[in-house]
Chain A
């Protein structure tokens, strides 16, 4: 039996990779993927805890997160395509017109 801490460590590693990718990469698509990675790190955490605490709540939560992630991916890709069409680039450094 694999102990809970291993799952949580793996979830933390996934989440941190997501955060690093999100903060360092400038390509919108890659940033979306990083977000997916963070979300899945959280999902893993929830499922593991659900199993070890013997409660289905965590798993139910996971379904919601997967649904939201799917919707977000769809909208995100739509935004990325719209961006590319208007600015011929999906690089966030060049998208800085909204500022004080």
Chain B
């Protein structure tokens, strides 16, 4: 295996350790090592990508990690087409976010800690995508969860940030519980956790069932659903989406890197990686498709009315992730991964643009206090506009190609849920365009609504912040050009590249239908933009009026369908009550404390009595001694 491949994850790891140990002394220069290592890592990833493109697939174990009975797990690397794409996404966005953070985090307490965590995250994510077995995937999976927790709670003095970190971690436990059960099932079934071994024998699952609560369930379906459980948690799909919007408490570069571009897409990666298993279970695929469609709609409606700019983008992320799941669900894994790829750029750009606005507004995040920033922050405005056009699906930009591919595949599939997902997906495309441009108009156009002081201090961000925006804007425009469909004169290079790993469903819709579908999604996007323009530029008083007219619906979506309140009442509070009443009172105070304190108390009181034997009177000792000797004699005689 080439050393440059090993260097991809090991460089960020070294940077994490060194920065954590020495960063305090480096002070404001703590960012150099992480930036240089992640850039080198990006270079190595590019090299790996080109090697894959020339046809070299690496699948090699480098170290035996666990050897226990029949369980044998190694640390190994698999670099195929899918991994190569993920490597590019992770290292490129991570590099840009590292550089951006120099400007964004300037002067913050714990500057070195932030960069150390970023390196840790990059390492974990790279281990996740590079692994050639399920356990290494799981290691990376948990490690990115840990870095996410650390970075969400970066401002740990703030209670809301600490709570959000905890929430992200705990909600993910639910998904990971299913995930690890899935791994157990895979191991008991195949006796191995290596992808190659499992996927080459995946046919054995066919027709096998397992009794679950007395009902026979297909083994392939069960494994697929358990794995998907993990994906739901990590990729914030319903019903485990609640942690992602709260994760916006973290610094904005973290939201861009972890909670938009990379970590949250791990679930999509998991489903795509395990596509041979999912392919065996139409039920699981239907469920993924339906859940994706429902989540996409659900999150998009919430995004329509939120006023915190980061939350709008966060719900947009949930919605776009759901798109990727629709792609995977209908068997078009390469379309899902394509959207993952383009989304990484335009969504990271949206977040970083928000970060730039937040910097310019001196940590104001409420859209109601903004407006008219276009002239003060031109670079931020133009890049933000490109990202919004891209996510809205304007032809020629990245988001258009990937979204269109997913909608086409959803329409094309024979799965029962396909047409449903297509209809919802087109509706969501309209909503996406609307909320993206609502945000754009509210931030950058119209009159400034903030305070005088904010207006006075308003400024464009420094070059170290705007350059990553410009570079990402290139990605947001051009990332889609890898997958131009045949109908537009391209050769869909993307799907062909990924075909060896992910396969490609047969397209049987006619060219006319395809053109109509494409027209439909373009129309949806343009209508969305037009409506946003009408409501927020031409008739700015209308949105308030609408909110009054539809007060019930407005409150419902503004409060995110009360899902958090529901969970609070149904899960959080009963759990806390149970903890206080049973775990604390009975288990902790009565049982554990009883044993822990009771044991020394018993010994103490026994010792207190024993102590009195030694009273200093020699004759008493002698009497005891004589008595003992006599007792010995008696014992010997009786025996």
Interface residues of A (CB under 8 A from B): 19, 22-23, 26, 92-93, 95-100
A18 to chain B, nearest CB (A): 11
Given A19-B626, A23-B623, A23-B626, residue A100 in contact with residue B612 (CB < 8 A): yes
Please state if B614 and A100 are interface contacts (CB–CB under 8 Å): yes
Query: From B614, which residue of chain A is reached at the shortest CB distance?
Result: A100
Which residues of chain A are within 8 angstroms of B622 by Cβ–Cβ distance? 22-23
> Measured between C-beta atoms, what is the minimum distance from A15 to chain B in Å?
12
Which listed residue (B616, B623, B626) contacts A99, Cβ 8 A? Answer: B616
Q: Looking at the complex, which one of A19, A22, A96, A100 makes contact with B617 (CB distance below 8 Å)?
A: A96
Q: Is the CB of A97 within 8 A of B616?
A: yes
Q: Residue B618 at the A interface, CB < 8 A?
A: yes
B-to-A contact residues, CB < 8 Å = 611-619, 622-623, 626
Collect the chain B residues with CB atoms within 8 Å of residue A97's CB: 616
Inside 8 A of A19's CB, which chain B residues have their CB? 626
Are the C-beta atoms of B626 and A96 separated by less than 8 Å?
no
**Contacting residues, chain B, for A92 (C-beta < 8 A):** 617-619
**In the complex, which residue of chain A has the Cβ closest to the Cβ of B620?**
A96
Query: Could you tell me the distance between the alpha carbons of A97 and B615 in the complex, rounded to whole angstroms?
Result: 8
Q: How far does the Cβ of A43 sit from chain B's closest Cβ, in whole Å?
A: 19
Query: How far is B612's CA from A41's CA once the two chains are assembled, in angstroms?
Result: 34
Decide: A100 and B613 in contact? CB cutoff 8 A: yes
Contacts of A93 in B (CB 8 A): 617, 619
Q: What is the bound-complex CA distance between A23 and B625, given in angstroms?
A: 10
**A23-B623, A93-B619, A98-B616 given. 8 additional CB < 8 A pairs?**
A22-B622, A23-B622, A92-B617, A92-B618, A96-B617, A99-B615, A100-B613, A100-B615
Q: Could you say which residues of chain A place their CB within 8 Å of the CB of B612?
A: 100
Q: Is the CB of B626 within 8 A of A26?
A: no
Contact A96 B623 (CB under 8 A): no
* A and B contact pairs by CB, cutoff 8 A, 23 listed: A19-B626, A22-B622, A23-B619, A23-B622, A26-B619, A92-B617, A92-B618, A92-B619, A93-B619, A95-B616, A95-B618, A96-B615, A96-B617, A96-B618, A97-B616, A98-B614, A98-B616, A99-B614, A99-B616, A100-B611, A100-B612, A100-B613, A100-B615
Task: List 3 A-B pairs, minimum CB-CB distance, nearest first.
Answer: A96-B616, A99-B616, A100-B614
Q: How near does chain A come to B290, taking the closest CB pair, in angstroms?
A: 77
Contacts of B619 in A (CB 8 A): 23, 26, 92-93
Nearest CB of B to A36, in Å? 16
Within the complex, the shortest CB–CB distance from B157 to chain A, in Å, comes to 53
Q: How far is the CB of A94 from chain B (nearest CB, A)?
A: 10
In the complex, A53 Cα to B626 Cα: how many Å? 30
Residues on A with C-beta less than 8 A from B626 are: 19, 23
